[in-house]
Structure 1
Amino acid sequence: MRRLQLLFTLFALILFNCAQAQTTGGSISGTVSDEAKKPLDGATLVLLAAKDSTVISTSLAKADGSFSFQNLKNNTYIIKATYMGYKTHVSSQVAVSQQKPVNLPAITLSPSGKTLNEVSVTAKKSYVQQKIDRTVVNVGALISNTGANALEVLSKTPGVQIDADGNITFKGKSGVLVMIDDKPTYLSAANLATYLRSLPSSSLDQIELMDNPPAKYDAAGNAGVINIKTKKNTNRGFNAVTSVNLAQGFYGRSDASINFNYRIDKVNFFANVAYNKQKTFRRLEIDRNYFDENSNQTSSLQDISYFRPSSNNTNIKAGLDYFISPKTTWGVVFTGTISRDHDSSPVYSLLYGKTGELDSTINTLNTSQNKFDSKGINVNYTHKFDSAGRALTFDLDYIRDISGSNQFFVNNTFLPDGTLTNSQTIKDDLPATINIYSAKVDYTHPLKGKAKLEVGIKSSYVNTDNAANYFNVVDNISTIDYNNTNRFLYKENINAAYLNFNKTFGRFSLQTGLRLENTNGDGHQLGNAQKADSSFVKHYTNIFPTAYFSYNLDTAGHNVLVASYGRRIGRPSYGSLNPFTFFVDKFTYFSGNPFLKPQFTDDYKLAYSFKSLFTVAVAYNRTTDVQNETIHKVDNTFISTTGNIGKQKTLDFSISSNLQPAKWWSVNLYAEVYNNTYQGAFYSGYLNESKTTFSANGNNQFTLSKTWSAELSGFYNTSGTYGQFVSIPTGMLNAAIQKKILNNKGTIKFNMRDIFKSFSPSGTITNIVGATATYHNFVDTQVATLTFTYSFGKSISVPAKRNTGGAESEQGRAH
């Protein structure tokens, strides 16, 4: 496999050198941006013959606003630049000769509907945009995203799947790194789901999907990176967008948010504040059958759990930019999350004998009070040495997360006639604290011949303190349960350096990178009166190469072929390394695994796109030492543990399209077929599971009039395998309509999610020695939402603020 990686990189370099030799003819290059000097990614450039305005070629501007026309004959040309919502720009005549390339002055486009007294939005972004190293999803392009939370928005994103517990998979793989504005969230899967549910869609701008991120990003996340970008106002004066919505599902919910900024002279203050109040519902049914060594059924258990969590969540992001000069900016950003959750989750367990007769009933009353507080500060600096793009940036980050849970379990066991035979009361206190420190420096240096070199270093330090205090309560007297009480301390330091190079020449584009990461971990399990101390130390250093190669099959750039390769790592979450057992209910426990090893993934991809309207891709990835939730049985109790279960192979074929059948109708479709195969040593002897899954996601946008628009969207997934878990098909259909009011400054939207109440994540748990199990979820996803949004302020633009933050991989691992 390593030979294949080396050959792939060498092949790209050989093509790079060959292409340089093949480039002939004259050339025209330049950049296109708006009045704030923000690059207009995807702007259309048309090359015309000056003599008769004949169209010679067309091109789309890249992410940095650059464009080029190559292999041109000696002639005189005109460049026409267009972008939706902006006035068309026509250049003066440009004379081209093969001896000297032409570098045009920067093209600046003016908004076609700009006013100085109020915000007027005239440009409409497409829902999905394809780039060489990522797919960009514009959240606001879908009306049905109105009133949703970030987790619900993700569930409709191409290639992303969310289960009933909020766990995220991307293109059939778990272990994706979720980032907010290029910074990791530093949260466990459960806390991440809670946070994303508290984040309203009104505060979201884009979602970047990177199954093979460039070397600039941390190598963490074997399934790739999902980067959620929040909205940022950058205009002079005072500008704001406020949103309020009311929703009704099984219970009512509401949220409100405001995103504003105030820019005067050299100072820009910005803030995004959101408040969310909700109560949701979920019913979970788990059926278990137990067998002896001769495969004869000995008993069965049916669990029915009801979850009714109610929460109040506040999210704040505020910052200050100080523009010392046009080239130098200092900034500070504060982030904060305050979440309070209460849940009353009764569980009804029916235990049956081998002939199907009812043996006993266990009623469990589970109440919990949960809190999560997160505070963070980022100090950032940017210096641009010149107009060519040479720049230096650095970020310092500190984040402190404090979470806690107080649970109270009362288990009562009854005979079939209702006689109480046993009563057990357990309470626990589960505090956790995480401190994260991170520093990084990045430098960008343009090179001759439309090339660019990026280098950077980063160091992060994380320390976690997780405690689990369990008590048995008898006659209102609490005694410590030493068998389950524990405290786990973990420290980790990661040092990294990267080098990234990209160049465009003729029809070819090349981007290669190399990242080095050194990991040092130290875990300490504190003992108690009955348990001895234990500890472990881990050190490892790894290299992560990446390569992207694109080729325009025609001079117009309508047909593009892209090949890529990348290697990634999935480090164990902090909590999964904790070796003690955590109580879930009477028949279910979670146990940590201090022997977990990191998993490594090699990803290969080949894609073809036509005019950014149609993209077909095939990808293959192989993961070793796969980390996955495993289930094994001890007596009648199921123990859930994260383990290394061997290797996973995934072959994925996907297709996406952006179509416009009529002026009033636009369609975005995404579909993929992937095969997951898991093989490796397991509790049952050997795990060998393979299944092919079909997944489809689509939305229709309808422009009914100047002020009315509507949408119909949905997704469908067939059965799939994820380690021991085999899911059944599920899907969802959504509809929405909106009306612009108050001179287009206000909008009223109505959205109906999961119209047919068809989203019900369910499946089977396989490879359990002496038992079988199935699970079925009834989830509160059928929700009607009414939203009012209002925008106000001035529209004099200033340069866009760069995304800040250097803590890019540690957040998704806190447990």
Structure 2
Amino acid sequence: MKLPQVFFLTLFSIFLFNRANAQTKNGKISGVVLDDAKKPLDGATVILLTAKDSSVTGTKLANPDGSFIFQNLIDNTYIIKVTYIGYKNYQSGPVIVTQQKAVSLLPFNLSLAGKKLNEVAVTAQKSYVQQKIDRTVVNVGALISNTGANALEVLAKSPGVQIDADGNITFKGKSGVLVMIDDKPTYLSAANLATYLRSLPSSSLDQIELMDNPPAKYDAAGNAGVINIKTKKNTTRGFNAVVSANFAQGFYGRMDESINFNYRIDKINFFANVAYNKQKTFRRLEIDRNYFDTNGEPTSSLQDISYFRPSSNNTNIKAGLDYFISPKTTWGIVFTGNLSNDHDSSPVYSLLYGKSGELDSTINTLNTSKNKFNSKGINVNYTHKFDSAGRALTFDLDYIHNDAGSNQLFVNNTFLPDGTLTNSQTLTDNLPSTINIYSAKADYTHPLKGKAKLEAGVKSSYVNTDNAANYFNVIDNVNVIDYNNTNRFLYKENINSAYVNFNKTFGRFSLQTGLRLENTNGDGHQLGNAQKADSSFVKHYTNLFPTAYFSYNLDTAGHNVLVLSYGRRIGRPNYGSLNPFTFFVDKFTYFSGNPFLKPQFTDNYKLAYSYKSLFTVAVAYNYTTDVQNETIHKDGNVFVSTTGNIGQQKTLDFSVNTNLQPAKWWTVNLYAEVYNNTYQGEFYTGYLHQSKNTFSANGNNQFTLSKTWNAELSGWFNTSGTYGQFVSIPTGMLNAAVQKKVLNNKGSIKLNVRDVFKSFSPSGTITNIVGATATYHNFVDTQVATLSFTYSFGRLTNVPAKRDTGGADSEQGRAH
């Protein structure tokens, strides 16, 4: 018999088997798990037991709203058992199931371990890390050492995430991750994204979702996957709020305050999150360069020492309104705003040596900059639930306007070894930038018979960017236009997409498949000036992005699960990376764009095994073509940094994650991975072939010292790794924190110390530079002590959650 016939015969047999089972197994039990405050316990373990012999029939994890459902049950009498870390176990009375009707149970209310029901209700902490079929969920508030930190610092402690000294994010050894806020892209450049995340206090964050292979519902952008940062959302009736204030002391002092509140009356729900922070940080960067002639003989060397002392004021606002027309229909509107202003005085001291090591000259550069970034956005959303089975329609309309600008002054003074001034150069620039983003999307969910579900959706986005670079040489106090570097770059892009996603359960087997189609249309135009002609380019391409997940329960209780997944993704060039303008760091370091960048494509394969969501081990393989990466090449004595396509990247990753509770007062989360990055392709030097194994680990220990005292010890460590031309050296960080609950457990005082041993020092080597070698070393202001106070007040009656997602998914993260 031919293989296709065997395949279809097998599918037909499975279909008949499930149809036969459906005739005798139609019983259903559903319910919801809540805490003492009537809030859902996301991730609680719900066990279905046969009443006769207490044998396990099935196991579920409660959904984010606390709900669960057991389906395809035979006529029998059952018992429900519920467990959750930090809470007393719950066990129901007998539940009789017949085929005539579904059984809907009253809510299960779990009480805190060691607490009486008439005491003050305190919500227990979730596990720091939770594993799901298509993502890893990090609960930010579970770590008290996150107190006083910003979003970028919280990300640095998440499994598989690495942050360099400039705030660039890599995930599982790969760059190009798509960062989203509440399921919406940030539409920011790498620099502006780092600034924004530094301005976002941890007190406003709820969860971080890490998806190395997102389902088809998500935009295909982000070859390394998606990181979705979810902010806090209050969903209770009446008025309630959480206020937070903290002061931190590092090299300089910093402070931030935030309030997150919600007010629900009748059919109107108003919510807002307002945060303000003021900070000043410090970083010292040392770069050593050695230059050689064509015969490999040394010609000169350069030592650069740069000091960065940015001071900033940042305000973040998110406010929205939900109108519940009926129990099935909701309209919503969400406003977002970010206002950031910073000032930086960054002197650079350059020492130029001759071929014999003698000092040739000294260049002192005064680099003063004033930067602003303003972002405003509005989202209109609609949700309609047709029935209780889950059939629903949603749509989102988004508009985002980003306005950024930078004014810089460079004064370069060159001295001989005896201190004689030989040259003085003054350069100023003005770099305004605006981005307008429009997005519309609609999603439809339709449950099918036989534990199946179909999802489909469409989306269209339009982005219009305008970047100018105005450079002037100051001669005798008169600004003279530098036509060689002055330009204006306009870019327009339209992306149209559609997807379909299907999932179904066959006994112990579960299958989810999806297909996404994306059509991209780009139009770039660099305006000329008195010395340079106009230039332009047009790009059109259409691609398909399949995804598939296949899971198998190795036992009837669902404790041991195997998951096999595949997905294809795209990494489009960032808007700013296409702009060929030049940005000056100092006399010997420039940044430049590349209008010839091509998109990169990645195929992701993964096999994972998990036990009760307490232990997960996975092996993954990723293959990327036309890899986009920062490249360094030499133009005379100047190092020019630009983004280029450097060939292919292969990543093999083995990871382990576990949640343990060695004692009632001690919980542990450990994550470790070993991955190999291999880069191959044409390069400035002819051919790049670089490969390295990297070990990365992070973990945290949480200690319950008493009813009102908690402590924590956490940290992470990375060995040397390779990322294109860059080879990093080992680095890590240890954090410690203690918390005291006050005011009837509604308030808390926390003391947190980050980087206790001041061990985080991102450094490394830059390879494959024609005629030169280079090393870099960063000294970063990460040893910070923070004292924080948080207080919660308001009513605690739970109501349905609002929806604040939007449709601007991948465009925000590309606004470079």
Tell me the TM-score normalized by structure 2. 0.95
User: Judging changes above 3 Å, is the alpha-carbon distance between structure 1 residues 21 and 740 closer, same or farther for their aligned structure 2 residues?
Assistant: farther
Equivalence for 2:222: 221
What does 1:219-258 correspond to in 2, within 5 Å?
219-258=220-259
Equivalence for 1:341: 342
2-side partners of 1:321 and 1:598: how far apart?
Answer: 39
1-side partners of 2:324 and 2:7: how far apart?
Answer: 41
Equivalence for 1:279: 280
Q: Show CA shifts across 1:732-761 (max 9, x none).
A: 000000000000000000000000000000
User: Judging changes above 3 Å, is the alpha-carbon distance between structure 1 residues 476 and 548 closer, same or farther for their aligned structure 2 residues?
Assistant: same
User: Judging changes above 3 Å, is the alpha-carbon distance between structure 1 residues 231 and 69 closer, same or farther for their aligned structure 2 residues?
Assistant: closer
1:475, distance to aligned residue in structure 2 (A): 1.6
1:801, distance to aligned residue in structure 2 (A): 1.5
CA contact (8 A) 1:86 1:123 kept: no
Equivalence for 2:712: 711
Equivalence for 1:491: 492
What does 1:259-408 correspond to in 2, within 5 Å?
259-408=260-409
Structure 1: segments with no counterpart, 5+ residues? 1-6
Structure 2: segments with no counterpart, 5+ residues? none
Aligned-partner residue type, residue 446 of structure 2: H
Q: Secondary structure at the match of 1:192?
A: helix
User: Judging changes above 3 Å, is the alpha-carbon distance between structure 1 residues 12 and 154 closer, same or farther for their aligned structure 2 residues?
Assistant: farther
What does 1:686-765 correspond to in 2, within 5 Å?
686-765=687-766
1-side partners of 2:26 and 2:62: how far apart?
Answer: 15
What does 1:614-693 correspond to in 2, within 5 Å?
614-693=615-694
1-side partners of 2:526 and 2:535: how far apart?
Answer: 5
Q: Secondary structure at the match of 1:196?
A: helix
Equivalence for 1:152: 153
Give the CA RMSD over aligned residues: 2.4
What does 1:13-24 correspond to in 2, within 5 Å?
20=15
User: Judging changes above 3 Å, is the alpha-carbon distance between structure 1 residues 605 and 39 closer, same or farther for their aligned structure 2 residues?
Assistant: farther
2-side partners of 1:551 and 1:225: how far apart?
Answer: 25
Tell me which of 74, 85, 90 is aligned to 1:88: 90
1:90, distance to aligned residue in structure 2 (A): 1.4
What does 1:417-436 correspond to in 2, within 5 Å?
417-436=418-437
1:31, distance to aligned residue in structure 2 (A): 3.5
1:34, distance to aligned residue in structure 2 (A): 4.8
User: Judging changes above 3 Å, is the alpha-carbon distance between structure 1 residues 13 and 336 closer, same or farther for their aligned structure 2 residues?
Assistant: farther
2-side partners of 1:553 and 1:29: how far apart?
Answer: 23
CA contact (8 A) 2:244 2:259 kept: yes
What does 1:190-201 correspond to in 2, within 5 Å?
190-201=191-202
User: Judging changes above 3 Å, is the alpha-carbon distance between structure 1 residues 17 and 225 closer, same or farther for their aligned structure 2 residues?
Assistant: farther
Q: Show CA shifts across 1:423-453 (max 9, x none).
A: 0000000000000000001111111111111
Question: Could you tell which deviates more after superposition, 201-210 or 447-456?
Answer: 447-456
User: Judging changes above 3 Å, is the alpha-carbon distance between structure 1 residues 795 and 371 closer, same or farther for their aligned structure 2 residues?
Assistant: same
Q: Secondary structure at the match of 1:767?
A: strand
1:46, distance to aligned residue in structure 2 (A): 2.5
**1:451 maps onto 2:427 in alignment:** no
CA contact (8 A) 1:87 1:109 kept: no
CA contact (8 A) 1:32 1:39 kept: no
1:804, distance to aligned residue in structure 2 (A): 1.4
Equivalence for 1:4: none
1:585, distance to aligned residue in structure 2 (A): 1.2
1-side partners of 2:692 and 2:716: how far apart?
Answer: 20
Q: Show CA shifts across 1:319-348 (max 9, x none).
A: 011111111111100000000100000000
Q: Secondary structure at the match of 2:712?
A: strand
Equivalence for 1:112: 111
1:83, distance to aligned residue in structure 2 (A): 4.4
1-side partners of 2:171 and 2:646: how far apart?
Answer: 19
CA contact (8 A) 1:118 1:794 kept: no
Aligned-partner residue type, residue 589 of structure 1: Y
Aligned-partner residue type, residue 167 of structure 1: N
User: Judging changes above 3 Å, is the alpha-carbon distance between structure 1 residues 372 and 71 closer, same or farther for their aligned structure 2 residues?
Assistant: closer
Q: Secondary structure at the match of 1:94?
A: strand
CA contact (8 A) 1:12 1:510 kept: no
1:107, distance to aligned residue in structure 2 (A): 5.1
Tell me the TM-score normalized by structure 1. 0.95
User: Judging changes above 3 Å, is the alpha-carbon distance between structure 1 residues 73 and 263 closer, same or farther for their aligned structure 2 residues?
Assistant: closer
1:507, distance to aligned residue in structure 2 (A): 1.2
Number of residues paired by the alignment? 805
1-side partners of 2:643 and 2:12: how far apart?
Answer: 46
2-side partners of 1:617 and 1:664: how far apart?
Answer: 29
2-side partners of 1:739 and 1:176: how far apart?
Answer: 37
2-side partners of 1:239 and 1:503: how far apart?
Answer: 40
User: Judging changes above 3 Å, is the alpha-carbon distance between structure 1 residues 766 and 490 closer, same or farther for their aligned structure 2 residues?
Assistant: same
User: Judging changes above 3 Å, is the alpha-carbon distance between structure 1 residues 16 and 148 closer, same or farther for their aligned structure 2 residues?
Assistant: farther
What does 1:484-563 correspond to in 2, within 5 Å?
484-563=485-564
CA contact (8 A) 2:445 2:453 kept: yes
CA contact (8 A) 1:116 1:796 kept: no
1:77, distance to aligned residue in structure 2 (A): 2.3
Aligned-partner residue type, residue 562 of structure 2: L
Q: Secondary structure at the match of 1:758?
A: coil
Q: Show CA shifts across 1:678-735 (max 9, x none).
A: 0000000000000000000000000000000100000000000000000000000000
Equivalence for 1:143: 144
User: Judging changes above 3 Å, is the alpha-carbon distance between structure 1 residues 38 and 242 closer, same or farther for their aligned structure 2 residues?
Assistant: closer
1-side partners of 2:75 and 2:181: how far apart?
Answer: 49
1:118, distance to aligned residue in structure 2 (A): 12
1-side partners of 2:616 and 2:81: how far apart?
Answer: 26
CA contact (8 A) 2:33 2:67 kept: no
Aligned-partner residue type, residue 781 of structure 2: D
1:115, distance to aligned residue in structure 2 (A): 12
1-side partners of 2:634 and 2:659: how far apart?
Answer: 49
1:528, distance to aligned residue in structure 2 (A): 0.4
Q: Show CA shifts across 1:19-43 (max 9, x none).
A: 5556658475444325799875422
Q: Secondary structure at the match of 1:490?
A: strand
CA contact (8 A) 1:38 1:799 kept: no
CA contact (8 A) 2:28 2:73 kept: no
Q: Show CA shifts across 1:638-690 (max 9, x none).
A: 11111100000000000000000111100000000000000000000000000
2-side partners of 1:575 and 1:598: how far apart?
Answer: 14
1-side partners of 2:797 and 2:68: how far apart?
Answer: 26
1-side partners of 2:95 and 2:118: how far apart?
Answer: 36
Q: Show CA shifts across 1:188-224 (max 9, x none).
A: 0000000000000000000000000000000000000
2-side partners of 1:60 and 1:402: how far apart?
Answer: 44
Equivalence for 1:3: none
Q: Secondary structure at the match of 2:141?
A: helix
1-side partners of 2:408 and 2:800: how far apart?
Answer: 49
Aligned-partner residue type, residue 276 of structure 1: N
Question: Could you tell which deviates more after superposition, 332-341 or 61-70?
Answer: 61-70
1-side partners of 2:259 and 2:40: how far apart?
Answer: 26
1:110, distance to aligned residue in structure 2 (A): 3.1
Question: Could you tell which deviates more after superposition, 192-201 or 11-20?
Answer: 11-20
Equivalence for 2:482: 481
1:72, distance to aligned residue in structure 2 (A): 6.9
User: Judging changes above 3 Å, is the alpha-carbon distance between structure 1 residues 698 and 607 closer, same or farther for their aligned structure 2 residues?
Assistant: same
CA contact (8 A) 1:597 1:625 kept: yes
1-side partners of 2:511 and 2:42: how far apart?
Answer: 18
2-side partners of 1:434 and 1:105: how far apart?
Answer: 50
Q: Show CA shifts across 1:73-98 (max 9, x none).
A: 764322334446588361543246xx
1:416, distance to aligned residue in structure 2 (A): 0.2
**1:414 maps onto 2:448 in alignment:** no
1:53, distance to aligned residue in structure 2 (A): 4.5
2-side partners of 1:333 and 1:276: how far apart?
Answer: 22
